[in-house]
Structure 1
Amino acid sequence: MSANSVTSIKEAIKFAEANDAKMIDLKFLDFPGTWQHLTIPAHRLDEELFEQGMGIDGSSMRGWQSIAASDMQVRPDPTTARMDPITKLPTLSFICNVFDPITDQPYSRDPRYIAQKAENHLKETGIADTAFVGPEAEFFIFDDVRYDVTPYSSFYAVDSQEGAWNTGRNEGPNLGYKLGYKRGYFPVPPYDSLSDLRGEMAMTLEKAGIVVDVHHHEVATAGQSEIGIKYNSLLKSADDLQWFKYIIKNVARRHQKTVTFMPKPIHGDNGSGMHTHFSLWKGGKPLFPGERYAGLSDTALHFIAGILDHAPSLLAFTNPTTNSFKRLVPGYEAPIKLAYSSRNRSSAVRIPMVQSSPASKRIEFRTPDPSSNGYLAFAAILMAGLDGIERQLDPGDPVDKNIYNLPPVEADKIPSAPASLEEALACLVEDHDYLLRGDVFTEDVIESWINYKFENEIEPTRLRPTPLEYKLYFDI
């Protein structure tokens, strides 16, 4: 029995026995989307664990309960059973759903529950029964990272043996092979010094049951990389993305390296995006191929129109950090204009044309980045696209030119993405009814997300001086 074939509690227990699991790890997400976990001995794995779960302090989780109502439960989903490829002891991992022990209902701010509701809502609309999602999460592999923020000082410093800034460093000896800025796309070793490490990451992902499509160096200097994984249904793809981040970080640490999914860790070079591929299927048949532009159906074009129409508010979930908007600037391949096109990587939505099979027809939303919570981001994208289908929105004409090089008169006619997280959140305040349909997102979730982002990210960023401001203004 493979992990992907586990469908019931009894099968999950048998899977643990067959793999001689010594420990059971229960993983769950906080509101922003970072995995948390607790571990119990394997002898505690029984049917009651799946039904009653384990108690946790919800007030200690970011964006969750107040201390006056802190008791919560995490209940393992048996279908998520996977042997953890990182731990020394044989450990069976489950991803958990979060429940309120008083009402015995799923917790409204559990991101995984929101993704589950999105899938259910899709079926209830009758438009489709499955949304397939394929995220391409880019990341940097650094040799060293240091940072600190105090009331009287702040700094960050990252380093990589590949870094363009290290051509003159005394490495005893320095052998060269440093990747220049924007010169990192597809070089072979020795310039690509991380090929073997990414290969180990890929094999570890496959050991966990995640199918890898490709791995390669990305555009930026200093170890920017990508490992492509196979698409999956919306909820499973979000689960896979959590495993992806967990495995990539831990394999890097084995080699005394560190990984960041921060969208823009280096000034002056490309940031890390998470181009997200979407397609809708019904009854085993794809709904996006057709006879319209780029081989798309009307359904696909309406889906694109929904994404573009709601993009300003959508970015509050797909690009949810202040750092996200340091990537969304001209000159670094990040799409800042809300247009669509085939093959054109300067548009926010691209229709890949590399395959002719109808089953491969999909749209690629290029704006998201890997700082996002996959469950919330994928659910929000789906809800925006469904709104476009239900309202039969028209995406307008495609833009088949390099948007970065358009004359200002033409460029100004194309709507732009928000320029800051604060602006995206303001758009979310004004435009979120499409997210509430089917009770997928709730007013509580929207309000809590906005408040959390303002209180914990926007306000602290706004209030603190930066090293650059000292350089600009100290001797003013």
Structure 2
Amino acid sequence: MPGRAKEPLKAEKFYASLLGVLFFTRRSLQNIYRKVVVMEITEKSQLIDKARNLGVKFIRLQFTDIFGVLKNVAITIEQLEKALNGELMFDGSSIHGFARIEESDMYLRPDPKSFVVFPWRPRDGGVARLICDVYNPDGTPFEGDPRCALKKVLAEAAEMGYTMQVGPELEFFLFHVDQDGNPTLHTHDRAGYFDLTPVDLGENARRDMVLILEQMGFEIEASHHEVAPGQHEIDFKYSDALDVADKIMTFKMVVRTTAQRHGLHATFMPKPVFGINGSGMHMNQSLFKDGKNAFYDPSAPDQLSETARYYIGGLIKHARSFTAITNPTVNSYKRLVPGYEAPVYIAWSGRNRSPLIRIPAKRGSSTRSS
């Protein structure tokens, strides 16, 4: 029948088109894969060239253990390519909380974007650092790596359309050291909130900390003496959560190193001295969606969106659980007493600094919880 003869032709055209699409898709995927591989190779070679041009001889591969302690292993520039390929193995069983001796092998995968040179080290034979993720031998991320855990949570938020911005306020104490270099119980000054020299004796050390941090890519917003004697605060500009987490670890390293160079001991201990204010790390948090602050709703009575209220509710609901991470030591709870601007109540407020959560007065794109 003449009418039926056209059906096989239609089928042939359909399958021919399908094969063409599959062939095109395969070629496209191959091209994309090649571009990604070439890009990775180019980035690695550019990083190696950059390190050599800057006179770097040693690279510290840094990672954070499950207790929030910064760890590192130093390699020479000759081993950098091997490190960037994720081929450097270490004994995970020797890091508390990582692995048992029966399953000790772990790998470090450096993040090329985290490369920075230590400004306080000599330029000849310079020292740089790379922040690393920790991986299992089978190529999967290690679940006990705090950085990988944060990446996982941020990916889940991204699937919901959210990005998280964080602005930390880190407080620390400076103490005198004895003749052997051991820390004493004597703070380096008797100054108070916003005091200046000659009362604030830590001004020079704090200035050097700010200068070094700026050389390492920080945008410092403010630095000042805090409420307690010997207590200081340096604030840097908010950024995405992963970048801020990396910067917090770098910040602590810089502060401790700079203090030591000034003959002082820096500590982030929550309550090193009884009877005066302790140190905290206020975290200004906000969620953004489609480039807009998801916590802001101009039509609401207090201009807080429903998303902001659910976010606050989630923090309150899980407050007791996450203190295992935010308050991991006995000394942490010595700070949580009334009268010292510490969060002693599981509640939220607009002005009162005693509750766990405070909502600063700023609105619009600056709407946040603290």
Q: What one-letter code is carried by the residue in structure 1 that aligns with 2:357?
A: V
- SS at 2:365 equivalent: helix
Q: For residue 317 of structure 1, give the secondary structure of its aligned residue in structure 2.
A: helix
Preserved contact between residue 357 and residue 369 of structure 2 (Cα < 8 Å) = yes
Aligned CA distance change for structure 1 residues 198 and 157 (closer, same or farther; 3 Å): closer
In 1, are the aligned partners of 2:111 and 2:130 still within 8 Å (CA)? yes
Deviation at 1:335, TM superposition (A): 1.6
Q: Relative to structure 1, is the Cα distance of residues 21 and 112 closer, same or farther in structure 2, using a 3 angstrom cutoff? A: same
Match of 2:280 in 1: 273
* Superposition TM-score, scaled by structure 2 size: 0.83
Give the corresponding residue for 1:305.
313
- Which of 49, 53, 66 lines up with 2:87 in the alignment? 53
Quote how far apart the aligned CAs of 1:157 are: 4.9
8 Å CA contact 1:86–1:250 kept in 2: the answer is: no
Match of 1:253 among 232, 250, 260: 260
Give 1:39 deviation, angstroms: 1.3
Distance in 2 of aligned mates of 1:363 and 1:131: 12
Tell me how far apart the structure 1 counterparts of residues 365 and 77 of structure 2 sit (CA, whole Å). Answer: 42
Aligned to 1:217: 225
User: Structure 1 residues 115, 86: CA separation in 2 closer, same or farther (over 3 Å shift)?
Assistant: farther
The residue correspondences of 1:6-405 to structure 2 (distance < 5 A) are 8-46=43-81, 48-88=82-122, 89-101=125-137, 103-126=138-161, 128=162, 130-144=163-177, 157-162=184-189, 178-179=190-191, 184-221=192-229, 223-291=230-298, 292-353=300-361, 355-356=362-363, 358-364=364-370
Q: Distance in 1 between matches of 2:312 and 2:95?
A: 35
Which ranges of structure 2 fall in alignment gaps of 5 or more residues?
Answer: 1-39
Structure 1 position 203, deviation (Å)? 0.6
Which amino acid in 2 is paired with 1:268?
G
**8 Å Cα contact 1:100-1:107 kept in structure 2:** yes
CA contact (8 A) 1:12 1:79 kept: no
User: CA 1:344–1:331 in structure 2 vs 1: closer, same or farther (change >3 Å)?
Assistant: closer
Which letter maps to 1:142?
Answer: F
Q: Distance in 1 between matches of 2:239 and 2:220?
A: 12
Task: Give the letter aligned to residue 361 of structure 1.
Answer: T
d(CA) in 2 for partners of 1:11, 1:233: 25
Supply the distance in 1 between the matched residues of 2:194 and 2:301 (Cα, whole angstroms): 31
Whether the 8 Å contact between 1:139 and 1:224 is mirrored in structure 2 is yes
TM-score (norm 1): 0.65
Q: What is the one-letter code of the residue matched to 2:88?
A: M
Structure 1 vs Structure 2 CA RMSD? 2.1
Q: Identity over the aligned pairs, expressed in percent?
A: 40
Between stretches 332-341 and 257-266, larger displacement belongs to 332-341
Aligned residues: 325
Largest Rg, 1 or 2:
2
Give the structure 1 partner of residue 34 of structure 2: none
- For 1:53 and 1:259, the matched residues in 2 are separated by 35
Distance of aligned partners of 1:70 and 1:143 in 2 relative to their CA distance in 1, 3 Å threshold: same
Give, in whole Å, the separation in 1 of the partners of 2:292 and 2:54.
Answer: 36
Query: Measured at CA, do residues 293 and 264 of structure 1 come closer, stay the same or move farther in structure 2, by a change above 3 Å?
Result: farther
Match of 2:10 in 1: none
Please report how far the alpha carbon of residue 271 of structure 1 lies from its aligned counterpart in structure 2 after TM superposition.
Answer: 0.5
SS in 2 for 1:225: strand
Displacement of 1:8: 3.8
Structure 1 CA distance, aligned partners of 2:178 and 2:217?
A: 31
Q: Which has the larger displacement, 211-220 or 339-348?
A: 339-348
- Structure with greater contact order relative to length (CA < 8 Å, sep ≥ 6): 1
Secondary structure, in 3 states, of the residue corresponding to 2:56?
coil
The match for 1:409 is: none
Whether the 8 Å contact between 2:107 and 2:136 is mirrored in structure 1 is yes
Instruction: Determine the C-alpha separation between the residues in 2 that align with 1:104 and 1:323.
Output: 38
Distance in 2 between residues matched to 1:361 and 1:18, nearest whole Å = 43
- 1:356-381 CA-to-partner distances (Å, cap 9, x unmatched) read 5x2211110xxxxxxxxxxxxxxxxx
TM-superposed CA distance for 1:84, in Å, is 1.8
**Distance (Å, rounded) in 1 between the aligned partners of 2:78 and 2:301:** 58
Q: Note closer, same or farther for the CA distance 1:343–1:145 as it changes in structure 2 (3 Å cut).
A: farther
User: Secondary structure of the equivalent of 2:209?
Assistant: helix
Report SS of the residue matched to 1:187.
coil
Is the contact between residue 294 and residue 342 of structure 1 (CA under 8 Å) also seen in structure 2? no
Alpha-carbon distance in structure 2 between the residues aligned to 1:293 and 1:274: 30
Asked if structure 2 preserves the Cα contact closer than 8 Å seen for 1:133 and 1:237, the reply is yes
